[in-house]
Amino acid sequence: MKQLTDSAVYSMAGGFVFIAYLSAKSYAEKGASAGPAGSSDDYVPIVHVAAAAITFYYVLLFNQSRTAFAEFSAAKKAYREKKFEEKPSLAGLKYGAGNKNILAADRSAGNMNEQLLPFLVGVFMHATFVSVERATKIGWAWIFFRSYYGWAFRKGVPTLFLSTLPAYYCV
């Protein structure tokens, strides 16, 4: 099962990198409109940002399963080595409390889920009414700030604010 969840995470991460590459290549060739979008072609950089954000969301979703299976495997090994008295269950780990790694993966995906729709609406509105170029920069910044949320969550407050506050500002 580990190979399946790993391949899902790495495949989506590869897709994300490919979208980022296409976006950078397109931006280098054509740039982005400094003003509001005037045609459908002006939205290309924003579509790249939206595709990257959605792809990154799937990375986080697959990482939830990957983390749960990894922690379950570690718990089974510890049980076999007599470090735990009670036999672990996947459902108990995945849906129970107490495992900081699973909680961080869950919160990373959950927080992305909570912010994705307002972010997409905001970035498209900004491109439509203000500036495509600025909306593109804000979009990539938001994805960057979301990218290390899991690490920041594990560290706790105030480190968590290094991810959340800039991302909220972008939205």
Q: Which two tokens stand for residue 9?
A: 């995470």
Q: 112 CB contacts (<8 Å, ≥6 apart)?
A: 56, 57, 60, 146, 149
pLDDT of residue 91: 80
Report CA 130 to chain centroid distance, whole Å: 26
For residues 36 and 132, the answer to whether their CB atoms sit within 8 Å is yes
Nearest in space to 147 (alpha carbons), one of 59, 82, 86: 59
The CA distance from 116 to 51, in Å, is 11
Q: What is the pLDDT along the chain (171 residues), one digit of tens a residue?
A: 677 888 888 899 999 999 998 888 887 788 777 889 989 989 999 999 999 999 999 999 999 999 999 988 888 888 888 777 778 878 887 777 778 999 999 999 999 999 999 999 999 999 999 999 999 999 999 999 999 999 999 999 999 999 999 999 998
> What is the Cα–Cα distance from 22 to 55, expressed in whole angstroms?
14
Given a contact cutoff of 8 angstroms between Cβ atoms, the answer to whether 142 and 75 are in contact is no
Q: Give every CB contact of residue 17 below 8 A, 6+ residues apart in sequence.
A: none
Pair 113, 57: CB distance under 8 Å: yes
d(CA 15, CA 8): 11
DSSP 40: G
Dihedral (C-alpha) 136, 52, 154, 107: value to the nearest 10 degrees? 110
Residue 154 near residue 103, CB atoms below 8 Å: no
